[in-house]
Amino acid sequence: MQLCDTHCHLDDKRFEGDFEAVLERAREAGITRFIIPAAHPEDLERARELAYQYEEVYFASGLHPNYAYLYDETFLRGFLEDRKCIAVGECGLDYYRLEEALAESKLESIEELKRIQKEVFIAQIKLAIAYKKPLIVHIREASADSLEILQTYAQKLSGGVLHCFNADFQLLSLAKKGFYYGIGGVLTFKNARKFVEVFPKIPLKSLLLETDAPYLTPHPHRGERNEPAYIPLVLEKMSEILGISKEILVRTINQNTKVLFGV
């Protein structure tokens, strides 16, 4: 088994003490490629350093919606031109922590913050179109607005993935527009009844695997730091729900990953 963790924040400080061991455990589990998505501008340089230090590591350039007020297109473009930058993101809309983000941004209202999130999301979509790179999308409690924006630009994009798919039925329509669905540890949670119900409705040709490490650790390791070596736990749950062998899922997901990200 040789799989890609398509979304893991290996640039996070929680991996600094044992990074080599984390990669070695991942390799032993059959995870041989890793994509580090951008979140905060301060982390991008570390992501690029890791991508050059390890052949199997790649990164994306973008800005998480919680930090939309920090958007600097010139800064992001500098990374997008790098040969190991294979995507734009993670970008999108996040209405879950608006109060917290408002306090950090020092903007005047939640309405202004939402407007900026939308503008920055669209700006990054346009970057993905310009650089012909796939889009890594973050959506949290903002499905309707996100769907409207993505439907507007979908035909011009070189594909994209809904990272940590939130099990919203209305977002399933994006599969027909070239979008993939990043499936991680949430699928294994005991309270993931809605996700388990929606998951079989995703076309096999639209599935990707991810961890979002160090977050969203799968059962039975909840409460611990997540890492790419836990991907097989998600794969096992996929196989159980769909009644499809892990071998078939691995072949399909690897092909999906190759088509979208080229790795």
Whether 192 contacts 212, CB under 8 Å:
no
pLDDT class of 108 with cuts at 50, 70, 90: confident
For 9, the 3-state DSSP assignment is coil
Q: Above 90 in pLDDT, residue 106? A: no
pLDDT digits (tens, 9 = 90+) for 4-50: 999 999 999 999 999 999 999 999 999 999 999 999 999 999 999 99
Q: Could you tell me whether strands 31-36 and 160-163 are parallel, antiparallel, or unpaired per DSSP bridges?
A: unpaired
DSSP 48-92: HHHHHH-TTEEEEE---GGGGGG--HHHHHHHHTSTTEEEEEEEE
Q: How far apart are CA 134 and CA 132, in angstroms?
A: 7
pLDDT digits (tens, 9 = 90+) for 117-166: 999 999 999 999 999 999 999 999 999 999 999 999 999 999 999 999 99
Q: How far apart are CA 18 and CA 114, in angstroms?
A: 38
